[in-house]
Amino acid sequence: MAEKSFKYVILGGGVAAGYAAREFANQGVKFGELAIISKEAVAPYERPALSKAYLFPEFASLFLDLLLHSKFHTAIGFAAPARLPGFHTCVGSGGERLLPEWYAEKGIALILGTEIVKADLASKTLISAAGEIFKFHILVIATGSTVIRLTDFGVQGADSKNIFYLREVDDADKLVEAIKAKKKGKAVIVGGGYIGLELSAVMKINNLDVSMVYPEPWCMPRLFTAGIAAFYEGYYANKGIQIIKGTVAVGFNADADGEVKEVKLKDGRVLEADIVVVGVGGRPLTVLFKGQVEEDKGGIKTDSFFRTSVPDVYAVGDVATFPMKMYDEMRRVEHVDHSRKSAEHAVKAIFASEVGKSVDEYDYLPYFYSRSFNLSWQFYGDNVGATVLFGDNNPSSENPKFGSYWIKDGKVVGAFLESGTPEENKAIAKVARVQPPAESLDQLAKEGLTFACKI
């Protein structure tokens, strides 16, 4: 099979790939120099849509005019369901939607439906499952993460039908079909993190009976404090979602057709289920490069320009473990915001180096967000140290609005806000970046959002 050669290759077709491609175009990449190789069959898209608007009920589209001209959509979290090509990158950050035609116009080869099974960085060669050979001069690794599956651990019945994971459009399409087929059925969400919270909400919007199961003492434990989590758990319970904490799924029972019917929990309980969605984390896709690049903290180690230990090889997004300048330590970040920004920064660094120039070191402010029902929160900075909670965090309030600060060594290093305005969210971001002193935790709690708005 004839080999194909490109000056630049982006390996992976997710968010980072789309934003890297746009930056390549901005930097003046020449026609035919760049290729994106992706195992997915579609051009890069904004992956967060899959756990939100992609799963909205289709009947919402019948009421689109109502939704657009009233507060109805805000009150219950509805909008018309998202579908491609509507959320190709880079619309998620307010940018241009890059359709397949855009790549063709720029002379960027979109090599889709192509899984790379071998990478030889020394010879700058990639080989696909079909035996195709791709040569590169500069490689940008943007392979992202894969979901952790219960079948990986031999969980009994975990291969039953209607047990779903959510990572790609194909996964979301299968889940949409199951939701249609199991109207008013029972859904069990395994996991209490991002996917667990967002999928529980969207399943409830689809009028399913929802239970959420996770082993931790509260939801989103990697970020939320007990006080923050108590609000979301209470809010979800008020929506009719059953929350089961402190236990795990240890098996699944299926019917004669192989469809899941029950979820067996470690504490002995058995939950009825027509649909199960598992969201228990992910792993960075680095296996192709094992033994070829230096690794750190589960990812591929890079410098502040996303250069790996191998010349002409860069790593961005979920797979990159990079110097977090603000905190003077190496970190790996799994979030769409970092995927976008790291991809752009790496491409700028590539072009600068080619003309003997340099760019500033990557100076990332950690940022996380989520939306569900009519809730929307944002977090900036580092969630370490003492915490204070402020505002109205009563889950039964008509318009709850609250936040939290993290204080370390007398400085505010992190800030969280639920239902903030754009201006207020900018204010908490500034607090996390500036790290102002906090002399009294009691005073900080009393000032609440006012403290951020005056910085």
Could you tell me if 184 and 217 are in contact, meaning their C-beta atoms sit under 8 angstroms apart? Answer: no
pLDDT of the residue at 1: 67
What tens digit of pLDDT does each residue of 264-316 get?
Answer: 999 999 999 999 999 999 999 999 999 999 999 999 999 999 999 999 999 99
The residue type of 228 is: I
Q: How far apart are CA 409 and CA 437, in angstroms?
A: 9
Sequence-separated contacts (24+) of 264-271 with Cβ below 8 Å: 264/156, 265/213, 269/244, 271/186, 271/188, 271/211, 271/213, 271/244
pTM, two decimal places? 0.94
Q: How far apart are CA 125 and CA 373, in angstroms?
A: 46
What tens digit of pLDDT does each residue of 107-126 get?
Answer: 999 999 999 999 999 999 99
Q: How far apart are CA 45 and CA 52, in angstroms?
A: 14
pLDDT, mean over the chain: 94
Task: Give the torsion through C-alpha atoms of 112, 17, 90, 223, to 10 deg.
Answer: 120
- Statement: residue 167 has pLDDT above 60: yes
Could you tell me if 134 and 37 are in contact, meaning their C-beta atoms sit under 8 angstroms apart? Answer: yes
pLDDT of the residue at 59: 56
The residue type of 315 is: A
Which class would CATH give 3-45+85-146+283-354?
Answer: alpha beta
- Statement: residue 443 has pLDDT above 70: yes
What tens digit of pLDDT does each residue of 141-150 get?
Answer: 999 999 999 9
What tens digit of pLDDT does each residue of 125-140 get?
Answer: 999 999 999 999 999 9
The single residue listed with the structure tokens 């792993």 is 283
Q: What is the DSSP string of 244-306?
A: EES--EEEEEE-TTSBEEEEEETTS-EEE-SEEEE---EEE--GGGTTTS-EETTEEE--TT-
How many Cα atoms within 13 Å fall on the side-chain side of residue 267? 10
Equal fold, 3-45+85-146+283-354 vs 374-453: no
pLDDT of the residue at 69: 37
pLDDT of the residue at 277: 98
Question: Is CATH 3.50.50.60 the classification given to domain 150-280?
Answer: yes
What tens digit of pLDDT does each residue of 319-369 get?
Answer: 999 999 999 999 999 999 999 999 999 999 999 999 999 999 999 999 999
pLDDT of the residue at 80: 75
Q: Domain map of the chain by residue range? A: 3-45+85-146+283-354, 150-280, 374-453
CATH architecture of 374-453: 2-Layer Sandwich (3.30)
pLDDT of the residue at 75: 37
